[in-house]
Amino acid sequence: MNNTATPAANAAKHDVYEIITEQIISQLEKGTVPWQQPWTEAGLPQNLISKRPYRGINVWLLASLGYSENYFLTYKQLKEFGGSVKKDEKAHIVVYWNYIEKDLEGKENGTQQSNGKKKVPFLRYYRVFNVAQCNDIPEMFIKPVTRQAYPIPACEDIVAKMPQCPSIRHKDQRAYYHPLSDFVNMPKKETFKSDESYYATLFHELMHSTGHHSRLNRSTLIQMTEFGSEPYSHEELVAEIGTCYLESLGGIITSEFERNASYIQGWLDKLRNDKKFIISASAHAQKAVDFILNVKFEEKESAEVKDEEAHP
């Protein structure tokens, strides 16, 4: 296997933020908005062996690759059951957070816990292949991907199970979240062009509501007063990414967000000026979705990460 041509192989020349941002910029320049690529048909991107779903920015990096099945695995996992990588196939990267401890004066320390220390996060990556890039994968590992049978009830279920769900009103004929009074206003459902459009809009406003101080206390929600400002752009991207995530989980596909040239150019400008912008927004979107779905996720290193750490 030759990794010299892979994006991950060139990581020594750039930091991980640059690698990811360059990938997103490349897709936007082609007219593709990665976080708007649903995985309803291909399934949620996950590790083939552990079935552990990928999270945050990894969802969009892997889902937007366009494979028919979103199962991935490391080279070590592939070799363990005698599989191989097809000729000329290139690995994809998955990013994750690792931590080092520093004392309050800034000296690094390898211990896990000690007094006067603080954990400092840094971004790392490892390589994975899609099953379509591999040979000799046992059929027992791959199950057919099936669509949600009742997509609209699935959307209702997402809303109904949201903890601390704000009041949802249908008073004004416009959609918005009111952070001071903590309620979501929605136009009447029958005025939308489709039920899918209604739920997509509702998901967007519920994503904003997760930033309330009683929930995730997201600073960008509080600061999003000026249109086009950094907090406004960040908060809107968090809401948009999370909405696309919830749409896919609810089994609906909409085109509620514009994809014209000026829209894409706006994201390109943000990404080129701030290499941490997309990763930060994706991380906040993942936390917001976890909150809405009432998912308690512990950030632990998966077996696949440990494998790659031991076998770089």
The string of DSSP letters for 124-160 reads EEEEEEEGGGEE---GGG-------SSHHHHHHHHHH
pLDDT(11) > 60: no
Q: Confidence class of residue 140 from pLDDT cuts 50, 70 and 90? A: confident
**Mean per-residue pLDDT of the chain:** 80
DSSP codes, 200-256: HHHHHHHHHHTTSTTTT--HHHHHTTSTTSHHHHHHHHHHHHHHHHHHHHHT-----
Instruction: Give the per-residue pLDDT at 230.
Output: 80
Instruction: Give the per-residue pLDDT at 307.
Output: 55
Average pLDDT over residues 212-219: 94
Q: Worst-scoring range by mean pLDDT, 88-102, 193-207, 251-265?
A: 251-265
Instruction: Give the per-residue pLDDT at 126.
Output: 93
Higher pLDDT, 159 or 114: 159
Q: Confidence class of residue 4 from pLDDT cuts 50, 70 and 90? A: very low
Average pLDDT over residues 144-159: 72
Instruction: Give the per-residue pLDDT at 139.
Output: 81
Each residue's pLDDT tens digit, 235-277? 988 998 899 889 888 888 765 554 556 667 777 888 888 988 8
- The dihedral built from the CA positions of residue 136, 138, 141 and 145, taken in this order, carries a sign that is positive
Higher pLDDT, 123 or 306: 123
pLDDT(287) > 90: yes
Q: Worst-scoring range by mean pLDDT, 25-29, 66-70, 149-153?
A: 149-153
Instruction: Give the per-residue pLDDT at 312.
Output: 37
Higher pLDDT, 210 or 262: 210
Instruction: Give the per-residue pLDDT at 5.
Output: 39
Give the domain 151-293 fold.
Answer: Arc Repressor Mutant, subunit A (1.10.10)
pLDDT(196) > 70: yes
Range with the largest mean pLDDT of 32-46, 90-104, 107-121, 190-204 = 190-204
Instruction: Give the per-residue pLDDT at 260.
Output: 52
Q: Is 15 exposed, middle or buried (0-12, 13-18, 19+ CB in 10 A)?
A: middle
Q: Worst-scoring range by mean pLDDT, 64-68, 72-76, 114-118?
A: 114-118
Higher pLDDT, 292 or 229: 292
Cα within 13 Å of Cα(228), Cβ side: 3
pLDDT(13) > 80: no
Q: Range(s) for CATH 1.10.10 in the chain? A: 151-293
pLDDT(305) > 80: no
Higher pLDDT, 226 or 80: 80
Average pLDDT over residues 216-242: 84
Cα within 13 Å of Cα(307), Cβ side: 15
